[in-house]
């Protein structure tokens, strides 16, 4: 057992965990934040994607002890009260979800992608960067539309402020 402290969505949590505990299970089982989904356990589907220290990672292959001292953002940490994050809003407005299983991972990957590219995205880039996130329902068309709409909103907001 190891004692770890991880800041999740801005709140530090200290827990004793078995050294083999995966970050996804720490988030779901120790913190009861179930927006991060367990899909394949092999990094193939991306349903478990979270942002760790500014980088989108698949939490099913990260040991919780290796995230000790890190800042983690999950889908639950995106909204500001009742105000959804721009990516969440875009997924709603552009029908970027069907069953919802992949949605949290897609949203987290998109949030990180938009931030890294400062909203300067095109369809080819979005498709390439979402290759590691699988959706069995939508055929990706509306997911891509959602990400591009959120990127455009990000770009407009940041360039209007400059």
CA 36, CA 57: separation in Å to the nearest integer?
A: 12
- Cβ-count burial of 24 within 10 angstroms (0-12 exposed, 13-18 middle, 19+ buried)? buried
Instruction: Give the predicted TM-score (pTM) of the model.
Output: 0.93
Quick: pLDDT tens for 27-69. Answer: 999 999 999 999 887 888 999 999 999 999 999 999 999 999 9
pLDDT score, position 90: 97
The domains of the chain, with CATH numbers, are: 2-77 (3.10.20.30), 86-161 (1.10.150.120)
pLDDT score, position 39: 87
φ, ψ dihedrals at 75, nearest 5°: -60, -30
């Amino acid at each position: 057992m190891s004692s770890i402290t991880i800041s999740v969505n801005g709140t530090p949590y200290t827990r004793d965990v078995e050294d083999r505990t995966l970050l996804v299970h720490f988030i779901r089982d120790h913190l009861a934040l179930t927006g991060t989904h367990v899909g394949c356990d092999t990094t193939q589907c991306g349903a478990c994607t979270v942002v760790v220290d500014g980088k989108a990672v698949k939490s099913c292959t990260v040991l919780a002890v290796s995230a000790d001292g890190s800042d983690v953002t999950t889908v639950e940490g995106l909204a500001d009260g009742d105000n959804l994050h721009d990516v969440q809003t875009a997924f709603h407005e552009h029908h970027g979800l069907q069953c919802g299983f992949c949605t949290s991972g897609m949203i987290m990957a998109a949030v990180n992608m938009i931030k890294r590219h400062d909203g300067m995205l095109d369809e080819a880039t979005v498709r390439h960067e979402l290759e590691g996130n699988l959706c069995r329902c939508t055929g990706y068309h509306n997911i891509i539309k959602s990400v591009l709409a959120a990127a455009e909103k990000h770009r407009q907001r940041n360039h209007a402020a400059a």
